[in-house]
Structure formats: C-alpha cells, structure tokens
C-alpha cells in the first residue's frame, strides 16, 4: 500500500505517525507446535493518516503475506458477554428492517456464528468466508435456511439476492476498501425484495431497498482509550466515524446511521444505495481531530508500553506469576510487544475451544482452557479486553481462583 496516496479518498495529504517492526503477520492463527509458533511469519506496521478523510492505514501492508484459510480463528462467540451483544444486534436488525423470512448475505461470516442467529430467527442466509471449517470444534449446526460458501465474496457472487448484506469485522482487513464497498454497492441494485414483494414499508430504509450493515473496530478506542494492543498487521485499515461515513458515501451509499457499539469498541454503519444527489464530504473538524490524536499516538503508545514493562518487572521481582486471559489479537500483541518482560506471563487462557492446545505466535505459550487455572494458580490474571473484566471475575470466582485481576 502506497504512503503517498490515501487508500480511501485518493488524497495526497498523508501523514505517517506510528511504526512497529517484527510483529506477527497473524494474531488469529495459532500454531500446533512451539517451534512453528516461534517461526511464525513477521512483518512491519507503518501507519499513516489521511488529512482529507481521516482514514488510517498501514502503508507497509503486503496482501501477499495474508491468506485466510481454515486455521484462521477469531470467533468471540464463546463469551457470554459477546453472545449477548451479538443476539441483541441480530434482533435489532431483524426488527428494524422487517427481516423475518428475508434473504441475508454475510460477507466474511467466519464459522457462521452471527449468520446462525439470523437464520434461527427465520432469515434465509448465505455466508461467504474462505476460513470456514465445516467440522470446527464448538461450531453449532447450521440452521435451516442457512448455507456457507467457502470462498471470498466477489463479483462472481453478486447475483445472490439479498434484503440485507452484512459485513462484520471484514473491512479493516481489505487493502482497497473503496473498491470493495463499490462492489458491494453494485450488488445491491434494488427491485423487488427477495421474497418477491414490492416492499411498501418493508424496511425503514425504504420499501424494497436492500440495506448494507457494516461493523468494524473503532479506531477512536485505540487513539483515545489507548487500546494499543489493537494495532495488528491483519488490520490494514483503521476507521473512525468520519472516515467510515466518507468511504460509504464515496462508494455510492446513503448512510442512514453510524453508531458506536460494544462499549465503544466497534463502529457500525447502516446504509442503502444512493439514488443520485451529491454528498457533503467529511467534516473538516472531525478529520482534524483524528489527525491531532494520531500526532500524539506514538508518545502515548510508548508511555503505555513502558508502564506495562514496569508492572511486569515488578511482578517478576516479587516472584509473582501471571496468566493472560484472551488469546486473540490483543493478547498476542500484548505478549509480543512486551517480550521478554512478558515471560512473567506463564499461562494464556481462552474460552474458545478451537484455540486451546495451540501455541501463541512469537512467544510460543500454549493456550489452555480457563479450568486449567485451578492447577496453575496464577497470582495475577491480565484481562486483555476491559469489556470482559466482570465476566472473567465471575468465572475466576466460580473456579475458586483468587487472583488479582488487572486489565491490559
């Protein structure tokens, strides 16, 4: 990806602001042996921000290094807290757009967890994902009216009729997001809805007009709340509300709503195909604020890393052992960035059974089930995501593990 031109709007007003070397290419691919985990491929991150639209992207991203196959695993659906959020989102979309019996296409559906929720509510669902593994451990049975295609979604699939197209936590993995969104827009030419109904009041977006729902990580959580462990190679683009809205409008959508979700960690947008008319362009004040935050991010990042190194060294000096709760992007980044000080973390646990028994790239710690903490008895449990802190606290209490709980 070129540094001189914005990956979203094409502006040359680009500022580089953060660099990280030797990071794992994949945080969401764990390895069957320690040796493979230590030899996991690495690359560099070189973030830039566009002064025209506020998009943030990795100028050093090489898409040839990133291939999504069955070993890729990033499902959060084993967490009761996340399940609650996902079910609430499915219900809101179904009620808001009258989707009972409607056709839903999900781009990048993973193992079909969210798609299954929609299908269980009566939607007819088709999902696309090259990492889909039909026999994956812990994966529920496909609901009636649901099928998954093990492939990337592309123009060859645009004939799939849909009343709703959704794409959750996919756009940040796409090096050319504007081209992708324009392709989705072309697939949503309205007519009769997929039930053969002209629409009337079929959806709040307008009778018979298909709707696009997209959800991405909220870059403001990284820039403002300093969720620095979210800066990973797999994410070639980082979105704020202003850049997400601008991209959707440039791709030919009318943006109905942009909202922060999941305690501010996600951005969600709902849009429909735009019929003519001009767009206003991004809010200059919002873009300027993103640029300001990017300008101070390097210093804030280094300060947080230094503070955590000090905490880990203090634990080590007191012969305290720690466990990391969460073997996803945050956990893998935390352990790699803070190595060798992170060696005080002797255990990594995760609720996802598909991760248990595998090894974390770069540091080669084996992922265990939470029940293993009953035998390892850590002094400290570092929760990788603050959203799950109370859930983890309750689980530790249920396991009889009296560890100090801290949030990364």
Q: What are 146-198's pLDDT values in tens digits?
A: 999 999 999 888 778 899 999 999 999 999 999 999 999 998 875 444 444 44
Helices (H) and strands (E) in the chain, counts: 10, 16
Confidence of residue 278 (pLDDT cuts 50, 70, 90): confident
Pairing of strands 367-368, 380-383: unpaired
* Token digits of residue 391: 């859930």
Between 21-25, 160-164, 277-281, 361-365, the lowest mean confidence (pLDDT) is in 277-281
Report whether 216 contacts 169 (CB < 8 A). yes
Give pLDDT, residue 68: 85
Between 68-77, 223-232, 337-346, 358-367, the lowest mean confidence (pLDDT) is in 68-77
**SS3 assignment, position 348:** strand
Q: Looking only at Cα atoms, what is the longest distance across the chain? A: 70
pLDDT above 50: residue 204: no
Residue with tokens 């994956």, as numbered in its chain: 136
**SS3 assignment, position 82:** helix
Give pLDDT, residue 161: 86
CA angle 375, 378, 382 (to 5 degrees): 130
Report whether 46 contacts 60 (CB < 8 A). yes
Nearest to 231 by CA among 56, 38, 51, 50: 56
Report whether the peptide linkage leading into residue 340 is cis, meaning its omega lies within 30 degrees of zero: yes
Query: What is the pTM assigned to this prediction?
Result: 0.92
Task: Measure the CA–CA gap between 278 and 104, rounded to whole angstroms.
Answer: 29
* Token digits of residue 397: 């209490």
16: which DSSP letter?
E
Give pLDDT, residue 18: 98
Task: Measure the CA–CA gap between 240 and 19, rounded to whole angstroms.
Answer: 20
Q: What domains are defined for the chain?
A: 80-274 (3.40.50.150), 318-407 (3.40.50.720)
Residue-averaged pLDDT of the chain: 92
Give pLDDT, residue 1: 54
Q: Which residues pair with 245 in a beta bridge?
A: none
351: which DSSP letter?
S
User: Left (φ > 0), alpha (ψ -120 to 50) or beta: where does 227 sit?
Assistant: beta
Give pLDDT, residue 139: 56
CA angle 76, 78, 84 (to 5 degrees): 80
Task: Measure the CA–CA gap between 197 and 300, rounded to whole angstroms.
Answer: 54
pLDDT in tens, 61-112: 999 999 888 788 988 999 999 999 999 999 999 999 999 999 999 999 999 9
Q: Is the dihedral of CA 173, 117, 74, 217 positive or negative?
A: positive
* Token digits of residue 345: 């973390």
Confidence of residue 209 (pLDDT cuts 50, 70, 90): confident
Mean pLDDT of 120-133: 94
Alpha helices in 9-112 (DSSP H): 34-38, 80-96
Task: Measure the CA–CA gap between 322 and 314, rounded to whole angstroms.
Answer: 12
Q: Which residues pair with 230 in a beta bridge?
A: none
Backbone φ and ψ of 308, nearest 5°: -70, -35
* Token digits of residue 208: 């018979």
Task: Measure the CA–CA gap between 363 and 373, rounded to whole angstroms.
Answer: 19
């Amino acid at each position: 990806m070129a540094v001189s031109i914005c990956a979203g709007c094409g502006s040359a007003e680009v500022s580089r602001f953060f660099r990280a070397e030797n990071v794992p290419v994949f945080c969401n691919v764990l390895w069957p042996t320690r040796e493979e985990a230590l030899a996991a491929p690495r690359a560099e991150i070189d973030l830039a921000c566009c002064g025209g639209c506020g998009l943030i992207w990795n100028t050093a991203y090489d898409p040839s290094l990133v291939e999504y196959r069955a070993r890729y695993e990033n499902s959060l659906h084993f967490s009761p807290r996340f399940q609650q959020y996902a079910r609430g989102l499915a219900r809101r979309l179904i009620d808001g757009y009258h989707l009972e019996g409607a056709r839903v296409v999900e781009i990048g559906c993973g193992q079909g967890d969210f798609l299954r929720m929609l299908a269980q509510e009566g939607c007819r669902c088709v999902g696309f994902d090259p990492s889909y593994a039909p026999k994956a451990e812990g994966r529920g049975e496909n609901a009636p009216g649901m099928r998954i295609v093990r492939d990337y979604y592309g123009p060859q699939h645009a004939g799939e009729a849909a009343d709703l197209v959704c794409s959750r936590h996919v756009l940040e993995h796409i090096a050319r997001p504007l081209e992708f969104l324009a392709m989705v827009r072309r697939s949503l030419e309205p007519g009769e809805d997929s039930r053969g109904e002209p629409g009337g009041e079929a959806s709040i977006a307008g009778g018979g007009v298909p709707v696009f729902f997209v959800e991405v990580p909220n870059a403001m959580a990284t820039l403002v709340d300093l969720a620095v462990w979210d800066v990973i190679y797999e994410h070639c683009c980082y979105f704020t509300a202003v850049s997400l809205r601008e991209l959707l409008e440039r791709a030919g959508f009318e943006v109905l709503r942009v909202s922060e979700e999941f305690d501010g960690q996600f951005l969600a947008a709902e849009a429909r195909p735009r019929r003519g008319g001009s767009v206003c362009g991004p809010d200059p004040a919002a873009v300027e604020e993103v640029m300001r935050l990017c300008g101070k991010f390097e210093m804030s990042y280094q300060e947080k890393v230094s503070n955590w190194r000090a905490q880990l060294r203090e634990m080590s000096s007191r012969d305290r052992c720690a466990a990391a709760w969460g073997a996803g992007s945050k956990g893998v980044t935390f352990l790699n960035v803070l190595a060798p000080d992170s060696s005080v973390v002797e255990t990594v646990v995760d609720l996802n059974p598909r991760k248990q028994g595998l090894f974390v790239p770069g540091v080669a710690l084996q992922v265990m089930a939470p029940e293993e903490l009953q035998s390892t008895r850590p002094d400290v449990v570092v929760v990788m995501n603050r959203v799950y802190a109370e859930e983890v606290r309750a689980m530790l209490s249920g396991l009889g593990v009296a560890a100090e709980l801290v949030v990364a």
